[in-house]
Amino acid sequence: MIRTIKPKNARSKRALAKKEARLIENTKTALFVPGSTSNKFLHDAMVDLMALKKPDIKKFTKKNEIRPFEDPSTLEFFSEKNDTSLMVFSSHNKKRPNTLIFTRFFNHKIYDMIELSIQQNHKLLEEFKKITFTVGLKPMFTFNGPAFDNHPVFQHLKSLFLDFFRGEETDLQDVAGLQYIIALSTGEIEDPNSSTLPLLHFRVYKLKSYKSGEKVPRIEIDEIGPRLDFKIGRRLTPAPELEKEAFMKPKQLQAKEKKNVSTDFMGDKVAQIHVGNQDLGKLQTRKMKGLKAKYDQDSEEEVFENDEIEIDEDEEMSEYESANDN
């Protein structure tokens, strides 16, 4: 835990305010941490992932002696200190070679964690020698395979990769910005009871559009890398209460239900209007002196007591008062 400090000047105050929880959240930032057993290849793989995630990245250059599945407290400290909620940690050993650990944080505490070992058939950006990524472009995603819909581990992976690479949340997308696609594929799970899961294939392609004679273009794709095949290792799932809190939607952002307004089958907007009861007693009819309130049958006596008959309506009250005084 970082000790809580009271900001002493405007700059540190602003810096702290930036870290505070917000209704509409910023894009999640990823921190890349090399473990003490990291190697050249893992470093290069992380650089490629960084290229995809830019500009929302932070990276460490020094190696860190951490075992995330045994003691994640250091990672939580890093997350809080750097205000990052995604983390990639690299490690390499005999049992789990070339491993990246993808961690997500909620309130700077571990939310979930999954261990992915890169298989031997990898091919990095460098080896493809194709284009590099434009910083800040939103990628498209495709998830191939039914496992992403029904298997908990793959659902986790789907959520993780979407969360990791989707970039800024926006409601307007430039058509020219639809340039590359991240494809995650997995084979069929042959035996649902066995603990071995099929590999996760991570591919990135660039889109090429051709004339099709129709409004939509014919799309062809060209692999630009990185090409990584992941073997799924250990995994940490969030506690149900934590999950519930993390998925909560702020009430303020939910659209208010519009009452009495609907669209009919013709597409016209139809509304129901409620009007209060009309008070017919106050209905304005033709104005005539004889119809004034003071000539009403009930107040007849008073009128005759008071000799002055022609009084302005405004002065009526005061006249009554003076009459009573007499």
Binding to other proteins (CB under 8 A) within 256-315 occurs at: none
CA angle (131 as vertex; 39, 216 as ends), nearest 5: 130
151 binds other proteins (CB under 8 A): no
The answer to whether 167 and 174 are in contact (CB under 8 A) is no
Residues 186, 225, 226, 231: which binds other proteins (CB under 8 A)?
A: 186
Residues 37, 51, 92, 145: which binds other proteins (CB under 8 A)?
A: 145
221 binds other proteins (CB under 8 A): yes
Residues 176, 266, 280, 288: which binds other proteins (CB under 8 A)?
A: 176
Angle, helices 40-53 vs 152-165, to 10°: value is: 70
12 binds other proteins (CB under 8 A): no
315: helix, strand or coil: coil
User: In this chain, which stretch among 35-43, 102-110, 287-295, 307-315 interacts with other proteins, using CB under 8 A?
Assistant: 102-110
The answer to whether 96 and 37 are in contact (CB under 8 A) is no
Beta bridge partners of 104: 86, 112
Cis peptide before 55 (omega within 30 of 0): yes
201 binds other proteins (CB under 8 A): yes
Instruction: Tell the smallest beta-carbon distance from residue 23 to other proteins (Å).
Output: 6
Residues 6+ apart with CB under 8 A from 261: 269, 270, 271, 272
User: In this chain, which stretch among 31-39, 62-70, 243-251, 267-275 interacts with other proteins, using CB under 8 A?
Assistant: 243-251
81 binds other proteins (CB under 8 A): no
The HSE-up count of residue 186 (CA atoms within 13 Å, CB side) is 24
170 binds other proteins (CB under 8 A): yes
User: In the numeric block, which tokens belong to residue 167?
Assistant: 């970039």
Residues 171, 279, 310, 313: which binds other proteins (CB under 8 A)?
A: 171
Residues 14, 218, 234, 292: which binds other proteins (CB under 8 A)?
A: 218
139: helix, strand or coil: coil
25 binds other proteins (CB under 8 A): yes
Residues 215, 269, 287, 289: which binds other proteins (CB under 8 A)?
A: 215
